């Protein structure tokens, strides 16, 4: 186990966490991370915020300096795409040759979903936002006065909308659903975020379905046509309509898939020598199968895989948490609110939180500029407890005492 050859496909958040953990817990064999991007592992959250606005320099995005890997004898191959997995031979193929493994970890992340080229998705000023290269490609379009249309009001679209306003752009967001953030948060939290954007001059159009992006004779998007006939003039379009888990290699290798690469609670795929973690992996969680797209999940699931490769045999059973920064609001979410039958609002000064319950059982807390409420909610969820829904909304009640922590 200690001397086994470990190869990770993808050199992002999950792969970096895997490698660091393996060395921390005493793995001594070769570790190779193979990533198709130009950079060593970096963090994506600043891409839609500081980096997009030019406020952070590229190397500060790197999760660890290059020396971290060399000092620990972790090989990071950048700009190297894995093209196939040979499970019988236990090798992966790259243009430079094949790399053998004893344990393979698929950390391939997710691809930004694009609009079809037939409706303008491939025009030169129509972008997606997933990688450093994506941001570098669009940065020169992010200029004061330019009109940006953002397709999709999920976290990425809304964070980019906030950055656009900070850059002095005219920002319109179109959302096909009847409200923003439908996949991610309940209606109360979404209403607060919507009001925040409106107060900063972002125009949000719900139930607005894009029909086509129209181009000028140079192949540049100039207008977006909506179903129903409305037309919106644009200088740049950003498509933020979610991601697709990167499962191509796993599929070609015959591994089980289920909304991503299907792993068990140890992080193992249908092949005992192949593991998976991060955005690409779906795992069993409290009676259902979920796939999370968050830094926390990439880090913790990859660390659990590292532990299990080394023989820990421990399940991965996270309390999911997530954050999003938009304008001056930090939204922090602990738990998953899907299935909530009741939501209680708590406001204390500028700190605001929404507590989602199924009956009396706490499912999630969404906290807006309320770090204390978030931490208490998260601790309660981690302990498997609840917090009285009758009292949580009363700002005069001490949350910590109420939670018994
Ligand atoms: C703009 C943006 C903002 C975000 N903000 C937040 C936030 O505020 N909070 C939060 O919790 N999360 C946020 N996230 C999500 C978070 O960054 C991801 O959940 C996390 O990066 C997932 O890590 P990962 O290692 O699974 O995938 P990734 O970080 O995507 O890494 C996967 C890597 O694998 C590479 N790869 C894929 N296939 C191959 C192949 N065949 N060969 C070689 N390499 C391959 C990919 O190119 C990529 O580099 C944000 C994401 C984005 C894009």
Residues 146 and 247 in one domain: no
**30-39: b or e for each residue (b if 16 or more CB lie within 10 Å)?**
bbbbbbbbeb
Per-residue confidence band for 179, with pLDDT thresholds at 50, 70 and 90: very high
Q: Which percentage of the chain shows pLDDT scores above 70? A: 100
286 is in which domain, residue-wise? Answer: 6-111+243-309
- Going from the Cα of 185 to the center of ligand 1, the distance in angstroms, rounded, reads 21
Last residue of a domain, one of 218, 239, 260: 239
Residues 207 and 67 in one domain: no
Q: Does residue 321 form part of some domain?
A: no
What average pLDDT does this structure show over 98-121? Answer: 98
- Going from the Cα of 391 to the center of ligand 1, the distance in angstroms, rounded, reads 39
Cα 212 to Cα 14: distance, rounded to the nearest angstrom: 36
What average pLDDT does this structure show over 10-14? Answer: 98
Closest ligand 1 atom number to CA of residue 83? 41
Residues 132 and 91 in one domain: no
Residues 171 and 218 in one domain: yes
Per-residue confidence band for 306, with pLDDT thresholds at 50, 70 and 90: very high
Q: Name the more confident of 405 and 215.
A: 215
Which residues does 316 contact at the CB level (< 8 Å), separation at least 6? 265, 266, 267, 283, 300, 301, 304, 305
- Does 325 score more than 80 pLDDT? yes
- Does 283 score more than 80 pLDDT? yes
Ligand 1, pocket residues at CB < 6 Å: 9-15, 34-37, 44-45, 47-48, 81-82, 107-109, 129-130, 156, 246, 249, 278-279, 293-296, 298, 322-324
Q: List C-alpha distances in Å: 174 to 129, 153, 352.
A: 16, 7, 26
Per-residue confidence band for 124, with pLDDT thresholds at 50, 70 and 90: very high
Q: Does residue 323 form part of some domain?
A: no
User: What pLDDT is stored for residue 161 in this prediction?
Assistant: 98
Probe residue for ligand 1, chosen from 45, 53, 84 as the CB with the greatest number of ligand atoms within 8 Å? 45
Per-residue confidence band for 56, with pLDDT thresholds at 50, 70 and 90: confident
Mean pLDDT of the chain: 97
Residues 119 and 223 in one domain: yes
Closest ligand 1 atom number to CA of residue 13? 25
Beta strand segments in 260-340, E: 261-262, 274-276, 281-285, 288-290, 321-326, 329-335
Q: Residue 204 belongs to what H/E stretch? A: strand 203-205
- Going from the Cα of 162 to the center of ligand 1, the distance in angstroms, rounded, reads 21
- Output the domain CATH number for residue 36: 3.50.50.60
What average pLDDT does this structure show over 109-113? Answer: 98
User: What pLDDT is stored for residue 120 in this prediction?
Assistant: 98
Q: Does residue 57 form part of some domain?
A: yes
Residues 210 and 124 in one domain: yes
Q: Does residue 221 form part of some domain?
A: yes
User: What pLDDT is stored for residue 256 in this prediction?
Assistant: 98
Probe residue for ligand 1, chosen from 7, 8, 11, 12 as the CB with the greatest number of ligand atoms within 8 Å? 12
Closest ligand 1 atom number to CA of residue 296? 11
> How many other CB atoms are there within 10 angstroms of residue 123's CB atom?
20
- Does 55 score more than 90 pLDDT? no
Last residue of a domain, one of 191, 221, 239: 239
Q: Where are the alpha helices (DSSP H) in 54-186?
A: 66-71, 132-138, 155-166
Residues 17 and 76 in one domain: yes
Per-residue confidence band for 405, with pLDDT thresholds at 50, 70 and 90: confident
- Output the domain CATH number for residue 348: 3.30.390.30
Q: Does residue 224 form part of some domain?
A: yes
User: How many domains, the chain?
Assistant: 3
Q: Does residue 217 form part of some domain?
A: yes
Residues 125 and 168 in one domain: yes
**137-168: b or e for each residue (b if 16 or more CB lie within 10 Å)?**
ebeebbeeebbbbbbbbbbbbbbbbbbbbbbe
Judged by DSSP in three states, 133 sits in helix
Q: Does residue 334 form part of some domain?
A: yes
User: What pLDDT is stored for residue 130 in this prediction?
Assistant: 98
Q: Residue 91 belongs to what H/E stretch? A: strand 91-94
Phi, psi torsion values for 118, nearest 5 degrees: -60, -25
- Does 104 score more than 80 pLDDT? yes
Q: Does residue 204 form part of some domain?
A: yes
Last residue of a domain, one of 309, 342, 363: 309
What average pLDDT does this structure show over 95-103? Answer: 97
User: What pLDDT is stored for residue 1 in this prediction?
Assistant: 73
- Going from the Cα of 345 to the center of ligand 1, the distance in angstroms, rounded, reads 33
- Going from the Cα of 366 to the center of ligand 1, the distance in angstroms, rounded, reads 23
Q: Supply the residue whose CA is at minimum distance from atom 53 of ligand 1.
A: 130
- Going from the Cα of 109 to the center of ligand 1, the distance in angstroms, rounded, reads 5
Residues 232 and 166 in one domain: yes
What average pLDDT does this structure show over 42-48? Answer: 96
pTM of the model: 0.96
Q: List C-alpha distances in Å: 156 to 52, 112, 133, 159, 242.
A: 12, 10, 16, 5, 8
User: What pLDDT is stored for residue 332 in this prediction?
Assistant: 98
For 88, counting Cβ atoms within 10 Å of its Cβ (0-12 exposed, 13-18 middle, 19+ buried), the class is exposed
- Going from the Cα of 113 to the center of ligand 1, the distance in angstroms, rounded, reads 13
- Going from the Cα of 386 to the center of ligand 1, the distance in angstroms, rounded, reads 32
């Amino acid at each position: 186990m200690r001397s086994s050859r470990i190869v990770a496909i993808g050199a992002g958040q999950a792969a970096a966490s895997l490698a660091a953990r393996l060395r921390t817990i005493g793995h001594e064999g070769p570790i190779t991370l193979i990533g198709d991007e130009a950079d060593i592992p970096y963090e994506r959250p600043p891409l839609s915020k500081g980096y997009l606005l030019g406020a952070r320099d590229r190397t500060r995005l790197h999760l660890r300096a290059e020396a971290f890997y060399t000092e620990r004898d972790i090989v990071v191959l950048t700009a190297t795409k894995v093209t196939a997995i040979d499970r019988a031979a236990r090798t992966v193929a790259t243009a430079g040759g094949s790399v053998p493994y004893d344990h393979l970890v698929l950390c391939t992340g997710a691809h930004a979903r694009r609009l079809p080229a037939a409706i303008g998705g491939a025009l030169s000023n129509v972008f997606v936002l997933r990688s450093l290269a994506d941001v570098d490609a669009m940065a020169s379009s992010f200029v004061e006065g330019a009109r940006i249309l953002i397709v999709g009001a999920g976290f990425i679209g809304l964070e980019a909308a906030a950055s656009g306003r900070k850059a002095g752009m005219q920002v319109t967001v179109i959302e096909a659903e009847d409200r923003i953030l439908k996949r991610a948060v309940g209606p109360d939290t979404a209403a607060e975020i919507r009001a925040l954007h409106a107060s900063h001059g972002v125009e949000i159009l719900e139930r607005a379905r894009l029909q086509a992006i129209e181009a000028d004779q140079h192949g540049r998007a100039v207008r977006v046509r909506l179903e129903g006939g409305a037309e919106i003039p644009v200088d740049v379009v950003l498509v933020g309509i979610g991601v697709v888990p990167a499962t191509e290699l796993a599929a070609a290798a015959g591994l089980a898939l289920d909304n991503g690469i299907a792993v068990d609670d140890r992080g193992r795929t249908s092949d005992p020598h192949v593991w998976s973690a991060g955005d690409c992996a779906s795992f069993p969680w409290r009676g259902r199968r979920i796939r999370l797209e968050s830094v926390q999940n990439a880090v913790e699931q990859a660390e659990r895989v590292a532990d299990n490769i080394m023989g820990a045999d421990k399940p991965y059973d996270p309390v999911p948490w997530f954050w999003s920064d938009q304008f001056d609001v930090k939204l922090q979410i602990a738990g998953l609110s899907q299935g909530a039958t009741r939501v209680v609002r708590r406001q204390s000064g500028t700190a605001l939180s929404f507590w989602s319950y199924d009956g009396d059982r706490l499912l999630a807390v969404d906290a807006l500029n309320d770090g204390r409420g978030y931490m208490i909610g998260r601790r309660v969820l981690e302990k498997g407890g609840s917090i009285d829904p009758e009292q949580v909304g009363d700002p005069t009640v001490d949350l910590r005492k109420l939670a018994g922590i």
